[in-house]
């Protein structure tokens, strides 16, 4: 448990799916801004430990917590561990854990039901479960925040598998509903990254990664694709700066979706 003096100085955040990519960038941004951070992961312990190292280097107190966000029992245990470690404090929840399918959208009729259900279990049920069981701690704070990771394909069609884009649309809808349910002391917003540099899109695009990312960058007003660090900055801003903003989805795509 953190000491009372340190507890008074630093806020506490829980970031799910924080071992790599966007999750790691969010942790890094929060730690640099004065948050202590609970770092959730489900499989990649070595990567999560690297995220923890980065956060500690920035001055944060951290804890690692392994939990599958789609499993309610594991979520309950995770929240109990966060409660114990940080003395009942939780100022910010970032629902970032997510997964996808490898079936392209034009082949959705070949998809196994289990594949579809797996994506919704992590992306949608996971967001619901973690928020459900974090609410008690969030409500104990004078002010608190939830930020959900959606996607631009939750707002418009894109080259992402059907369950992924559908799940992100569900998260955007959940964000609005939760904002109404949890106000006025808890604000709930979402970020919707566009074409994102890094391993997620490398897996999605395969050998076409470099060519397609270069093309998207040229079509973007800011002349590049988004980075995990851009998303981390957006999450931090929503959580700490925009005090009269709730129920909103902030698009992080350099303007691509508005000109293409």
The pLDDT-based confidence of 50 (bands split at 50, 70, 90) is very high
Q: Render pLDDT for 225-257 as a digit per residue (tens, 0 to 9).
A: 889 999 999 999 999 999 999 999 999 999 988
pLDDT attached to residue 216: 79
Looking at the domain 4-197+228-255, which fold is it?
Rossmann fold (3.40.50)
Least confident of 19-23, 130-134, 164-168, 200-204: 200-204
Give one DSSP letter per residue of 165-196, joined into a string: HHHHHHHHHHHHHHHHHHTTTEEEEEEEE-SB
Q: Residue 163: what pLDDT?
A: 96
Domain ranges of the chain: 4-197+228-255
Global pTM value:
0.93
Of these residues, 41, 164, 209, 256, which one is catalytic?
164
CA distance 138 to 175: 16
Are the beta carbons of 19 and 39 closer than 8 angstroms? yes
Lowest mean pLDDT among 19-28, 102-111, 129-138: 102-111
Higher pLDDT, 211 or 168: 168
Confidence check: pLDDT of 23 > 90:
yes
- Cβ atoms of residues 171 and 209 within 8 Å: no
User: Is 41 one of the annotated active-site residues of the chain?
Assistant: no
């Amino acid at each position: 448990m953190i000491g009372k003096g340190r507890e008074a100085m630093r806020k506490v955040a829980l970031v799910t799916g924080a071992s790599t990519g966007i999750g790691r960038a969010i942790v890094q941004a929060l730690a640099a801004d004065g948050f202590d951070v609970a770092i959730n992961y489900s499989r990649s312990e070595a990567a999560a430990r690297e995220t923890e190292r980065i956060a500690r280097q920035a001055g944060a107190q951290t804890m690692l917590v392994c939990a599958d966000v789609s499993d309610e029992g594991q979520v309950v245990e995770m929240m109990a561990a966060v409660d114990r470690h940080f003395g009942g404090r939780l100022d910010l929840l970032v629902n970032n854990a997510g997964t996808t399918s490898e079936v392209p959208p034009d082949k959705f009729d070949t998809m196994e039901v289990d594949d579809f259900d797996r994506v919704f279990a992590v992306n949608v049920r996971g967001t619901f479960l973690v928020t459900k069981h974090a609410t008690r701690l969030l409500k104990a704070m004078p002010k608190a925040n939830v930020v959900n990771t959606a996607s631009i394909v939750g707002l418009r069609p894109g080259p992402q598998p059907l369950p992924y884009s559908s799940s992100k649309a569900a998260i955007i809808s959940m964000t609005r509903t939760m904002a109404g349910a949890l106000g006025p002391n808890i604000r709930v917003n979402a970020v919707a990254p566009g074409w994102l540099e890094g391993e997620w899109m490398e897996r999605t695009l395969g050998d076409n990664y470099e060519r397609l990312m270069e093309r998207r960058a040229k079509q973007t007003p800011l002349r590049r694709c988004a980075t995990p660090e851009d998303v981390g900055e957006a999450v931090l801003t929503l959580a700490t700066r925009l005090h009269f903003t709730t129920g909103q989805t902030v698009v992080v795509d350099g303007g691509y979706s508005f000109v293409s």
